[in-house]
Structure 1
Amino acid sequence: MNMTKLKEEVIEYSKTIGIDKIGFTTAAPFTELKNRLLQQQMLEYQSGFEEPDIEKRVDPAKIFAGPQSIIAIALAYPSKLKNAPQSKKGERRGIFCRASWGMDYHVILRNRLTKLEQFIASKVPHARFKSMVDTGELSDRAVAERAGIGWSGKNCSIITPEFGSYVYLGEMITNIPFEPDTPIEDRCGTCNKCIHACPTGALVQGGQLNAQRCIAYLTQTKGFLADEFRTKIGNRLYGCDTCQTVCPENKGRDFQFHEEMKPDPEVVKPLLKPILTISNREFKEKFGKLSGSWRGKKPIQRNAILALAHFKDETAIPDLIKLLNDDPRPVIKGTAAWALGKIGGKEAKEALIKVKSKEKNNEVLTEINKGLSFFE
């Protein structure tokens, strides 16, 4: 079989199904990555959402019999919200990060990878594949970097010359020996804008992230947010784009190539107060198709409470008092108590004093006391 011709055909076909960039690399182990992952593990910088077995993350042969090469794909996503509603007094809004606009990207990329598998299988009947997006064992970034999709930026994103870092990544291990592409040279140079701009100092140094401090990770946690991060989250409901928006490589980049990625402004920049009392069904109907809904409504509700505190939105005080009195979940109840103290005012203080005498949960009591401490 003419492998050069097959590779050309795969590249041509990929363009017809909405793959914006495609690259090929070997299935050799990612030895450099292994050392980095071991260091991250030792420093406790991991988020906990990753595949725990480092061997599987760095060696394609551990998860696929007889791997010969890996195909990496990238799809560019929008970065500008058209007709964005204004966040104003009494009608404050939160924001989902750009990677959670439109339809869940896992669904979009799996669709493209499935079509690519079917095309290759029609050309090579004995072809086998294992495709993955984000939640697979391999590191999407390591594969994309080695396949020449882009370089690994200091902000820990793959940066492509064409689309900046506003790309979703996916990959496919196969038993077909495609000719590998050449990696792209790093263009970050002496620029450290992302490192300086990170709100929590999660970017320890260029290319090293302490995921435990990263707002994108913190917005997805389900428990109480540590005090030091509560005032850093701003109005973010899910994810964080700061290290991307300050990147010079992303300046003026906005790609509206894919219909299913186009955001609904009312969904990705929603009013905060209605989120506080949203039912499971309403949450699923409104936010269910976003990748940012995967952890359910509780983290989004907690983040909405923190956003209202960030805005010092006095019109939210009755809603927060209702949560403090009626919500059965300690995290929501306690965060509401903290937020009432942060917003301040006579009504908030009286509500905290009143509920303190009856509250039995120690975690909630701690938060009530934190709320009351704002009045001292």
Structure 2
Amino acid sequence: MQSLKERIIAESKKIGIDKIGFTTAEPFDYLKESLIEQKAAGHTSGFEHPDIDERIYPEKTFDNPKSIIAIALAYPTKIHEEVPRDEKRGQFARASWGIDYHNILQDRLNRLIDFIKTEADSEQETADWRFVPQVDTGELVDVAVAQRAGLGFIGKNGLLITEEYGSFVYLGEIVTNIQFEPDEPVANGCGDCTRCITGCPTGALLGDGRMNAKKCLSYQTQTKGMMPKEYRKKIRNIIYGCDICQLVCPYNKGKDFHFHPEMEPQTEEVFPKLVPLLTISNKQFKTQFGHLAGSWRGKKPLQRNALIALANLGGREALPKIVNCLDDPRPVIRGTAVWAIGQLTKRAPDQFLDTLRDLQSTETDEEVLTELEETLTYLTTDKKRR
């Protein structure tokens, strides 16, 4: 007769879970010093769970935890539709393709929990069993749980790397008071390879699986304020996320799985036209992008990033729409539009100098005024750029 663990593994395959592993609910106390150091150094993004003890001690948030069940789902890395070259388009990183992965994993975890409950030997056992599913926004460090549960190892880019699917996997876990035999952790497999470290355009990776999250381009595309100038050209036309440290990883070579229809990318969603983004309504935004993980910060960061991407792509044909953004009520959009105009008119700035000076005379936001001053100086003093 199969054990409960074996029956759970068999069921996981039926409901669309690509990898599953089991570990104890013992503390992840080896992480504590590193997490404290990262926070003190200002290397955290602010998106993490704020209480470090709750991140490493499951008993802080779950009464008498015994085990953690970790799962992974592989996601596509290539779009099968042809991306039109009709006009300038942005890109969403692969982890934001298809329906928001939080919803997909939550569904799989809930279905797995429902199955486990049916396997109880008595009503009392069903009543005693408890489960808490977590996906990304929970207390625990997902990659640490997955590594200890045997799903893969944590690479130098800080991502979980699986043998079968590389790092192109979504992770989730279930904390429970059921005792399971734990699986063996996976040893690190990076060796001397440093491709992700040297490939990162901003030097965000620290070399030991940690990063300065604030230097990560994925983080920069998700902030709501003005993007620092040193990152603007480096995002190219990516308006959400970053895939560079994954694309250069040897473990990801040739990896492209299409197991889950709800993860399949649609061209107009993940390679959207940039100009329409500048004037998209809230209703249109929700319809086109609301189901993507990349929409969680709202439309303002994506509109800001669209302005930057248009400048990076040399989209001079979009200048009339970009100029209209100078009237936007949001300072971030006005300020980024100023920068984009400067980049796109650097060889022939005269047409828009008066427009920028008119805004300078009425603008009250300090950041926008700084952008205006720097852009006007850039356009009027550097003759070599014309």
TM-score relative to the length of structure 2: 0.94
Q: List runs of 5+ in structure 1 lacking aligned partners.
A: none
Structure-1 residue corresponding to 2:93: 97
Aligned counterparts, 1:1-376, within 5 A: 5-87=3-85, 91-124=87-120, 125=126, 126-324=128-326, 326-344=327-345, 345=348, 346-375=350-379, 376=381
Q: Which amino acid aligns with 2:16?
A: G
Task: Give the drift of 1:253.
Answer: 0.3
Deviations 1:50-75 (A, max 9, x none): 11100100011001001000000000
Runs of 4+ in structure 1 over 6 Å off: none
- CA–CA distance in structure 2, aligned partners of residues 123 and 62 of structure 1: 28
- CA–CA distance in structure 2, aligned partners of residues 63 and 300 of structure 1: 35
Deviations 1:116-152 (A, max 9, x none): 1111111121311011000000011010010000000
- CA–CA distance in structure 2, aligned partners of residues 199 and 86 of structure 1: 27
Worse-superposed segment, 343-352 or 164-173 = 343-352
- CA–CA distance in structure 1, aligned partners of residues 249 and 37 of structure 2: 26
Task: Give the drift of 1:87.
Answer: 4.4
Task: Give the drift of 1:39.
Answer: 1.2
Q: Which amino acid aligns with 1:333?
A: R
Q: Calculate percent identity across the aligned residue pairs.
A: 54
Task: Give the drift of 1:270.
Answer: 0.6
Task: Give the drift of 1:206.
Answer: 3.1
- CA–CA distance in structure 2, aligned partners of residues 368 and 312 of structure 1: 20
Aligned with 1:74: secondary structure? strand
C-alpha change, 1:40 and 1:65, in structure 2 (3 Å) is same
- CA–CA distance in structure 1, aligned partners of residues 85 and 367 of structure 2: 32
Q: Which amino acid aligns with 1:138?
A: L
Task: Give the drift of 1:354.
Answer: 2.7
- CA–CA distance in structure 2, aligned partners of residues 48 and 355 of structure 1: 34
Task: Give the drift of 1:366.
Answer: 1.1
Deviations 1:278-316 (A, max 9, x none): 011100000000000000000000000000111121111
Structure-1 residue corresponding to 2:384: none
| Contact preservation (8 Å) 1:192, 1:206 | no
Q: Which amino acid aligns with 2:352?
A: A
| Contact preservation (8 Å) 1:341, 1:373 | no
- CA–CA distance in structure 2, aligned partners of residues 149 and 104 of structure 1: 22
Task: Give the drift of 1:35.
Answer: 1.6
RMSD: 1.2
Q: List runs of 5+ in structure 2 lacking aligned partners.
A: 121-125, 382-386
TM-score relative to the length of structure 1: 0.97
Aligned with 1:208: secondary structure? coil
Task: Give the drift of 1:349.
Answer: 2.8
Task: Give the drift of 1:374.
Answer: 2.4
Aligned with 1:25: secondary structure? strand
Task: Give the drift of 1:181.
Answer: 0.1
Task: Give the drift of 1:351.
Answer: 2.0
- CA–CA distance in structure 1, aligned partners of residues 41 and 32 of structure 2: 14
Worse-superposed segment, 350-359 or 297-306 = 350-359
Aligned with 1:204: secondary structure? coil
Aligned with 1:23: secondary structure? strand
Task: Give the drift of 1:84.
Answer: 3.5
| Contact preservation (8 Å) 1:340, 1:349 | no
Aligned with 1:338: secondary structure? helix
Aligned with 1:260: secondary structure? helix
Q: Which amino acid aligns with 1:95?
A: Q
Pairs aligned (count): 371
- CA–CA distance in structure 2, aligned partners of residues 9 and 123 of structure 1: 9
Q: Which amino acid aligns with 2:160?
A: I
Aligned with 1:363: secondary structure? helix
| Contact preservation (8 Å) 1:73, 1:169 | yes
Deviations 1:206-245 (A, max 9, x none): 3110001101111110000111111211111110000000
- CA–CA distance in structure 2, aligned partners of residues 56 and 84 of structure 1: 45
